[in-house]
Structure 1
Amino acid sequence: MPFTSRGPNYAGRRVLITGGLGFIGSNLARALVRQGARVTIVDSLIPEYGGNRRNLHGIASKVTVNISDVRDRHAMPVFVKDQDVLFNLAGQTSHMDSMTDPDTDLEINARAQLSILEACRHHNPDLRIVFASTRQLYGKPQYLPVDEKHPLNPVDVNGINKLAGEHYHLLYHQVYGLKTSVLRLTNTIGPRMRIRDARQTFLGIWIRQALKGEPFEVWGGDQLRDFSYVDDAVSAFLLCGASSAADGRVFNVGGCAPIDLKDLADQLVALVPGSSYRQRRFPAARKAIDIGHYYADDSALRETLDWAPRTNLKTALQRTVSFFQRELAHYA
């Protein structure tokens, strides 16, 4: 795939995005449309999983949308056929949902991933595949920053199933030669993120409550986190989807310098006049699966694909809040 001075060029490329009506998938679709790619989206639009037709506002006529579930093993061969790149973002992201409904999490994050890979192996083995994974696989960090060599020790069912899905992708590269790569995402924020609840990130519900004039809760407050702005995460996907250097590799996607949650809350309150928060102890059920401090070492991605985040946290928060000030009715 040709590269321009600003990165890979997807003009004319046929691209499939599973989970493409969700937060990251829709922002990825927008970037691809701007480049002239032929974009097809597969999304189940199950309310709990983040898909929102509003996410395609302004580009809906320029993409093909199929409302289908990746658990449908009969549909996936049709979708993967004749595609050049698959960005595989379909997944169940809620850690708490995975503990209360582990069977569904298993179906989506593990078994369905095998079906997708089998469809690719049999119907389009030359497809390049980028799988969206998570920093949750590391569990509670043994050292910081966390690099890809850190032990994997998930603290919830979601992490275990995402780990299985990740390993399926790597195995199919090793055994069948599929061009797969994996991105372990940290806390990704930006326009179109899910804010109606905390199923994707706690910051979403902070923003919703702040904009509605309701005090939001900060559990603990001293935990360090890093945040990735969605445009920077999209850049990592585009680079992986265009480079053979990514094949068979796992990369952390980091972002802004780490910040503790209380300072993050203070920054958000400063952006939304009249907003406020209160600190409280962790609820017992959430404390049991909290990972404590986390921030990523993403030097492998930087060195291999010349990637770097371009958006600092202040700018990321400003852009996110500004978007939802305009669009709150469509997302809250």
Structure 2
Amino acid sequence: MSQLAGRKVIVTGGAGFIGSHLCEALLDVGAEVICLDDLSAGKRGNVAHLEGKSNRPNFRFVELDICDDGPAMDAAFEGVDTVFHNAASKKNICLINPHRDLEVNAGGALNLLKMSMKHGVRKFVQASTGSVYGEPQIFPTTEAHPFEPVSYYGVSKLAGERYVDVFHKLYGLDTTILRYFHVYGPRQESNEFGGVVSIFLRRITQGENPIVFGHGEQVRSFTWVKDLVEANLRAATDPQATGRAYNAASGIRVTINELAKGMLEILDPAGKLEVEHGEPLIGDIMEFDVSNAAIREDLGIEFEADFWGTLKTALADVDAFLGKAEPTGVAA
């Protein structure tokens, strides 16, 4: 990680849930960080504690759309060594505006790759998703699984991956793709476009029943946000990661029913609330059994295995988890 000291880096989506944690970690190892976010999903409050010379002098926030290819983007890329591309149009949004979803997840990635080549960027780390596989047919699912996305989001993120591959193979750009799975942790968005853990948390703390869409036996591989941060840092510095794509997943298997019931046990011990069921979501994948063997072997990452213990500790500060309290910069 010391290799990142002194590097000038861009974190797209840096004011978002995962991006803000990544900005913190990069500053901790001595990088100069440009947090690039258009605030369509990110929150300035997620990084407010990093701004100002009295706090983190090597941090700068730039409000900018990743599809912008004008002078403002050129200025942001001046002298940049490494790009951590975490900005995205989220899965829940793709049904509302699939054209914007494609523009951001595919066109935005292409724009950033072009800027990276133009400005001599040395390393490009792309955040992708397990949704590129579609409904898995091979278990455990490795990186060799066929790509058969079943959602607009999966298609657009796969297109982004393909652009990354092209720039690596045609132009020699040092790239790594990290496929995220069901990330949880403090500052996760809790509105209807957020993650299921935060959505359940918001409803339960407001005295409302958690709503499970469909039968609830969908299996998820919940992954602690700090593990994804470590995966990004290692991908940026380990030569074994060059040109590779990795499943960045814990390997934990928890059903949505188990999650809802478990969170009620933690947050509603009196039993006033109960699990409700709603209509199934379009494109919702039922089964995840993800192999993380490749990233563990190549990059030496050990993922958090105690899902319930970690979750219970994190949920002890509800305001911090929901992003209502100002972040301290200290790992939860």
TM-score, structure 2 normalization: 0.90
Unmatched 5+ stretches in structure 2:
326-332
Secondary structure, counterpart of 2:296 in structure 1: helix
Residue equivalent to 2:275: 278
> Is the counterpart of residue 180 in structure 1 residue 180 in structure 2?
no
Residue 249 (structure 1) shift: 0.5
Residue equivalent to 1:299: 293
Letter in 2 for 1:71: C
Identity %: 31
Residue equivalent to 1:4: none
Residue 235 (structure 1) shift: 0.5
Residue 11 (structure 1) shift: 2.2
Mapped to 2, the partners of 1:323 and 1:171 lie a distance apart of 44
From the superposition, tell whether residues 58 and 155 of structure 1 become closer, same or farther in structure 2 (CA, over 3 Å). same
On the 8 A contact 1:132/1:184 being kept in 2, the answer is yes
Residue 200 (structure 1) shift: 3.4
> Is the counterpart of residue 38 in structure 1 residue 32 in structure 2?
yes
Residue equivalent to 2:188: 193
Equivalent in 94, 109, 112 of residue 113 of structure 1: 109
Letter in 2 for 1:107: E
From the superposition, tell whether residues 327 and 88 of structure 1 become closer, same or farther in structure 2 (CA, over 3 Å). closer
Residue 10 (structure 1) shift: 2.5
Residue 143 (structure 1) shift: 2.1
From the superposition, tell whether residues 328 and 249 of structure 1 become closer, same or farther in structure 2 (CA, over 3 Å). closer
Unmatched 5+ stretches in structure 1:
1-6
Mapped to 2, the partners of 1:326 and 1:160 lie a distance apart of 33
Residue 206 (structure 1) shift: 0.7
> Is the counterpart of residue 168 in structure 1 residue 180 in structure 2?
no
Residue 9 (structure 1) shift: 4.5
Aligned length: 316
From the superposition, tell whether residues 15 and 315 of structure 1 become closer, same or farther in structure 2 (CA, over 3 Å). farther
Mapped to 2, the partners of 1:44 and 1:330 lie a distance apart of 20
Residue equivalent to 1:208: 202
Larger deviation, residues 235-244 vs 214-223? 214-223
Residue equivalent to 1:217: 211
Secondary structure, counterpart of 1:304 in structure 2: helix
Residue 259 (structure 1) shift: 1.3
Secondary structure, counterpart of 1:109 in structure 2: helix
Mapped to 1, the partners of 2:223 and 2:207 lie a distance apart of 26
- After superposition, the C-alpha distances for 1:198-257 in whole angstroms (9 at most, x for unaligned) are x23222211111111211112222121110000011110010011221111100011152
> Is the counterpart of residue 18 in structure 1 residue 12 in structure 2?
yes
Residue equivalent to 1:3: none
Superposed counterparts of 1:63-74, under 5 Å: 63-74=59-70
> Is the counterpart of residue 59 in structure 1 residue 50 in structure 2?
yes
Secondary structure, counterpart of 2:324 in structure 1: helix
Secondary structure, counterpart of 1:161 in structure 2: helix
TM-score, structure 1 normalization: 0.90
